[in-house]
């Protein structure tokens, strides 16, 4: 069966505590041997939040699991670090793990610029430690089925429309999520990253030739659209949802054109006109026989309980149509991610190939924000293409 991987959690917020910890514990090949999050060791008075130490106890983490400093965690003979820190800290925290020679699974967005990715790459080459982004959405069974059908049916360029629209799902208004200096961007980065990864598997892979993007300001009452299903306490992290900074978009769009004629239209919104949180992936193209074809997946990505009740995959070819029900267990794609991570740590998966795809997703979003006039990292110079050696 192979050695059980000694795993450390870097950050103990929602994703690591609610998504990764239970899955790592349930997986026979992983063992959580340590956690580092400044909130776990800060005194309640200094942070204004007493919630996290309580969260660690509630998660059944023995006190000796908690490492006061990141180097203390990395010194625990780790095989894997799982990075779930705010976006602007991914390079710093993941980079420290790579410097220590520890394989690293990094939450999305992998980082906020191609320059950051290049530096992570250099640190990975220096110690030989592999890294990958968590990319659960392309691992979904309904997405895999859509991708298979698109490859079977569509010849030549395609038009892809990828949308993830929440009715009211702003992650913790007033926290780092809604601060541009810490999150980089809003909904287009947060949800759009998943969509861009999925779209990447549907497009024929031609060179991008054009891009437009639009970021919509949050509505004045955006804080009330909080994603309550995350179960965050209103004051988690000490921010006030009504007075905290909110300078990222709640609704963002991009449109990319490719040399072969393919087009990607992507929209991601934390709060929008829909009443049910809905993810739609539509692909239009032409079959090898010259017939028009259209494939459409309508479901809900992620963990929101406000879900599409009957997820469906529809296919139209010429005048014929077919429809399949595509029920999925929410979160199964995260279990599959862990299997992929196991393969990365064991060097039995081409993780650098996957990383090249991640570099393209990062480049698309990085360019979109720059074109919209709000670069993910303020002051970032224009990107030169093809700079990342993955
Ligand atoms: N793939 C997904 O479906 C998904 C879902 C949610 C979040 N995420 C990503 O996961 C990351 C974390 O999101 P979250 O929802 O858990 O946020 P969160 O705010 O709930 O948790 C972040 C945690 O990081 C801790 N932290 C801050 N600085 C740190 C440091 N220097 N070292 C260690 N820990 C530090 C904070 O104290 C906090 O507890 C983000 O990048 C987010 O985009 C991904």
- Each residue's pLDDT tens digit, 198-229: 999 999 999 999 999 999 988 777 766 788 77
One domain for residues 211 and 323: yes
**Distance (Å) from CA 94 to ligand 1 centroid:** 12
Q: How far apart are CA 280 and CA 299, in angstroms?
A: 6
- Sign, CA torsion 172/239/7/130: positive
Q: End of a domain among 332, 353, 379?
A: 332
Nearest-atom index, ligand 1, CA of 16: 16
One domain for residues 204 and 114: no
pLDDT in tens, 239-298: 666 678 899 999 999 999 999 999 999 999 999 999 999 999 999 999 999 999 999 999
Q: How far apart are CA 28 and CA 201, in angstroms?
A: 30
Q: What is the CA radius of gyration of the chain?
A: 21
Does position 82 have pLDDT exceeding 60, yes or no? yes
Confidence of residue 44 (pLDDT cuts 50, 70, 90): very low
One domain for residues 129 and 142: no
In a domain, 25, yes or no: yes
**Distance (Å) from CA 176 to ligand 1 centroid:** 9
For ligand 1, say whether the CB of 36 is within 6 Å of any of its atoms. yes
- Sign, CA torsion 131/349/390/198: negative
Q: 193 preceded by cis ω (within 30°)?
A: no
**Distance (Å) from CA 329 to ligand 1 centroid:** 23
In a domain, 390, yes or no: no
Between the alpha carbon of residue 16 and those of residues 31, 83, 134, the distances in Å are 14, 8, 12
For ligand 1, say whether the CB of 15 is within 6 Å of any of its atoms. yes
Q: Who has greater pLDDT, 48 or 27?
A: 27
pLDDT in tens, 29-40: 999 999 999 999
Give the pLDDT of residue 236.
Answer: 55
For ligand 1, say whether the CB of 239 is within 6 Å of any of its atoms. no
Ligand 1 atom 6: the closest Cα is on which residue? 15
Q: How many separate domains does the chain show? A: 2
In a domain, 385, yes or no: no
Q: What is the mean pLDDT of the chain?
A: 92
Q: How far apart are CA 365 and CA 188, in angstroms?
A: 8
Q: How far apart are CA 105 and CA 288, in angstroms?
A: 40
Give the pLDDT of residue 223.
Answer: 67
Pocket-testing residue among 85, 104, 179, 234, ligand 1, by greatest number of atoms within 8 A of Cβ = 85
Does position 183 have pLDDT exceeding 90, yes or no? yes
Nearest-atom index, ligand 1, CA of 70: 32
Residues spanned by the domain of 119: 5-135+333-371
Sheet of 5-10: strand order equals 30-36, 5-10, 80-83, 103-106, 131-133
Nearest to 346 by CA among 137, 79, 119: 79
One domain for residues 325 and 338: no
Nearest-atom index, ligand 1, CA of 40: 37
What would the mean pLDDT of 50-67 be, rounded to a whole number?
79
Can you give the pTM of this predicted structure? 0.94
- Sign, CA torsion 353/359/362/367: negative
For ligand 1, say whether the CB of 87 is within 6 Å of any of its atoms. yes
Pocket-testing residue among 16, 48, 86, 88, ligand 1, by greatest number of atoms within 8 A of Cβ = 86
Which segments within the chain are labelled E, that is strand? Answer: 5-10, 30-36, 80-83, 103-106, 131-133, 155-165, 208-216, 251-258, 263-269, 278-286, 292-299, 312-317, 320-325
Ligand 1 atom 41: the closest Cα is on which residue? 87
- 90-99 and 114-127 helices, crossing angle to 10°: 10
For ligand 1, say whether the CB of 39 is within 6 Å of any of its atoms. yes
Confidence of residue 48 (pLDDT cuts 50, 70, 90): very low
Does position 386 have pLDDT exceeding 60, yes or no? no
Give the pLDDT of residue 382.
Answer: 57
DSSP characters for 332-378? HHHHHHHHHHHHHHTT-S-HHHHHHHHHHHHHHHHHHHHHTT--SST
pLDDT in tens, 126-179: 999 999 999 999 999 999 999 999 999 999 999 999 999 999 999 999 999 999
One domain for residues 309 and 184: yes
pLDDT in tens, 61-70: 888 999 999 9
Does position 387 have pLDDT exceeding 80, yes or no? no
Does position 378 have pLDDT exceeding 90, yes or no? no
Does position 53 have pLDDT exceeding 90, yes or no? no
Does position 5 have pLDDT exceeding 50, yes or no? yes
Contact predicate 202/225, CB 8 Å: no
In a domain, 179, yes or no: yes
Does position 237 have pLDDT exceeding 80, yes or no? no
One domain for residues 48 and 144: no
Does position 333 have pLDDT exceeding 90, yes or no? yes
Give the pLDDT of residue 103.
Answer: 98
Q: How far apart are CA 247 and CA 217, in angstroms?
A: 8
One domain for residues 83 and 201: no
Contact predicate 237/39, CB 8 Å: yes
In a domain, 273, yes or no: yes
Ligand 1 atom 28: the closest Cα is on which residue? 85
Ligand 1 atom 3: the closest Cα is on which residue? 302
One domain for residues 269 and 191: yes
One domain for residues 274 and 356: no
The CATH code of the domain that includes 11 is 3.40.50.720
The CATH code of the domain that includes 248 is 3.30.360.10
What would the mean pLDDT of 367-381 be, rounded to a whole number?
90
In a domain, 380, yes or no: no
For ligand 1, say whether the CB of 88 is within 6 Å of any of its atoms. no
Any residues with CB less than 8 A from the CB of 279 and at least 6 apart, and which?
163, 164, 165, 195, 297, 298, 299, 300, 301, 308
Pocket-testing residue among 20, 84, 185, 233, ligand 1, by greatest number of atoms within 8 A of Cβ = 84
pLDDT in tens, 84-120: 999 999 999 999 999 999 999 999 999 999 999 999 9
Q: Who has greater pLDDT, 384 or 209?
A: 209
One domain for residues 205 and 98: no
Give the pLDDT of residue 235.
Answer: 46
Ligand 1 atom 43: the closest Cα is on which residue? 108
């Amino acid at each position: 069966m192979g050695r059980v991987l000694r795993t450390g959690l870097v950050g103990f917020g929602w994703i690591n505590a609610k998504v990764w910890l239970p899955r790592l514990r349930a997986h026979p090949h992983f063992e959580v041997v340590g956690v580092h999050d400044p909130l776990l060791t800060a005194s309640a008075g200094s942070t204004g939040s007493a919630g996290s130490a309580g969260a660690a106890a509630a998660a059944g983490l023995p006190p000796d699991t908690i490492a006061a400093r990141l180097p203390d965690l990395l010194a625990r003979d780790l095989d894997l670090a799982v990075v779930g820190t705010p976006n602007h800290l991914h390079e710093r925290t993941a980079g420290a793990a790579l410097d220590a020679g520890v394989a690293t699974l990094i939450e999305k967005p992998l980082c906020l610029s191609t320059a950051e990715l290049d530096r992570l790459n250099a640190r990975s080459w220096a110690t030989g430690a592999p890294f990958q982004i968590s990319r659960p959405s392309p691992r979904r069974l309904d997405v895999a089925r859509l991708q298979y059908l698109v490859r079977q049916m569509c010849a030549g360029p395609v038009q892809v429309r990828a949308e993830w629209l929440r009715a009211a799902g702003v992650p913790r208004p007033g926290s780092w999520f809604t601060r541009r200096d810490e999150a980089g961007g809003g909904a287009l980065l947060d949800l759009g990253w998943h969509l861009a990864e999925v779209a990447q598997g549907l497009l024929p892979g031609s060179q991008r030739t054009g891009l437009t993007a639009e970021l919509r300001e949050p509505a004045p009452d955006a804080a009330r659209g909080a994603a309550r299903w995350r179960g965050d306490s209103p004051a988690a992290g000490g921010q006030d949802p009504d007075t905290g900074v909110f300078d990222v978009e709640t609704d963002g769009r991009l449109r990319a054109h490719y040399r072969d004629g393919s087009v990607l239209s992507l929209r991601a919104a934390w709060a929008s006109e829909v009443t049910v949180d809905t993810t739609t992936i539509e692909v239009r193209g032409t079959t090898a026989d010259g017939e028009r074809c259209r494939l459409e997946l309508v479901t809900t990505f992620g963990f929101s309980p406000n879900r599409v009740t009957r997820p469906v995959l529809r296919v139209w070819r010429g005048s014929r149509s077919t429809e399949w029900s595509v029920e999925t267990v929410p979160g199964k794609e995260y279990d599959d991610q862990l299997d992929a991570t196991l393969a990365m740590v064991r060097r039995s998966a081409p993780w650098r190939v996957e990383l090249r795809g991640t570099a393209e997703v990062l480049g698309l979003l990085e360019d979109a924000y720059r074109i919209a006039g709000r670069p993910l990292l303020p002051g970032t110079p224009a990107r030169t293409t093809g700079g990342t050696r993955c």
